[in-house]
Chains A and B, each alone.
Chain A
């Protein structure tokens, strides 16, 4: 199957590959996996005190579309507020990367990774608030 130019670009030059300190109170980590293809995706966001994503990193083991989806997502989330990040839908990834129907689940994986990272940072912040209250 032919990959779109955008998928190839992200696949060959993935943006923001790497790792952030998962124990940092300002870092949210999302780990998800797709049993169908055995793909594993880790997406991390570093969030400022006023709730803006300052940095994002990912590591994905999977097909080209899964790598491109997570690479794109790290670019999309930077500079956005947590509310804006929560509004990102996989359809945007599908459109941007021109993913064929059989690869839509790769974009779902990326959307779910964002959701998991957001849930992680929210849980951390709530815990902090409890601790300081």
Chain B
């Protein structure tokens, strides 16, 4: 077994470079890479080799985290195809999409004062989950057609949904704490 830093994450995990990955295959390969790079195996090795093994382990971890998350995987595929997200500098988005995001944010802000805050949060979460699923479907289609402009738009919108979903979760956690 070897870890080649010039490989992309898909190659490292012996997977085809495509959006859909088999989680089982990903996990199996991750475990064998982890075993191969285990610090115990390098306890007696030279310093340079120890350093290499640590760098390799962090490369493998980064690759695994990226490939496990559908959004990160999609962003990574864009990067491999030379597409940048410009997530800090390009602020132009579909006005319709931004309007929806604003409404969802308003709903989230109002949720704690709802008759049943959990129901209110569930409603938002359901809407976000539907959006995340359709983002994945749309990305897969765009990537298959190598329509990277569309794929980029999908990922940029998907980032909003993911961010908001994590905020819904922290709201829920705060509610739990308050009870």
Contacts and interface: CB of A to CB of B under 8 A. Distances in A.
A32 B102 contact: no
B69 interface: no
B88 A36 contact: yes
Interface string A7-33: 000000000000000000000000111
B160 A33 contact: yes
Contact of B159 (A35, A59, A109): A35
A34 B87 contact: yes
A35 B155 CA distance: 9
B164 interface: yes
Contacts, number: 58
Nearest to A104: B88
A52 interface: no
B145 interface: no
Interface residues of A, number: 18
Chain B interface residue number, banded: 20 to 34
A89 to B, nearest CB: 14
A38 B161 CA distance: 8
B66 interface: no
Contact of A35 (B85, B102, B105, B109): B85
Interface of B: 85, 87-89, 91-93, 95, 97-99, 101-102, 105, 109, 155-157, 159-160, 162-164
Among all A-B residue pairs, the 5 with the closest Cβ atoms: A38-B163, A36-B87, A105-B88, A32-B91, A35-B87
Given A34-B91, A38-B101, A112-B92, 9 more contacts: A31-B99, A32-B92, A33-B160, A35-B87, A59-B102, A61-B102, A105-B88, A108-B88, A109-B91
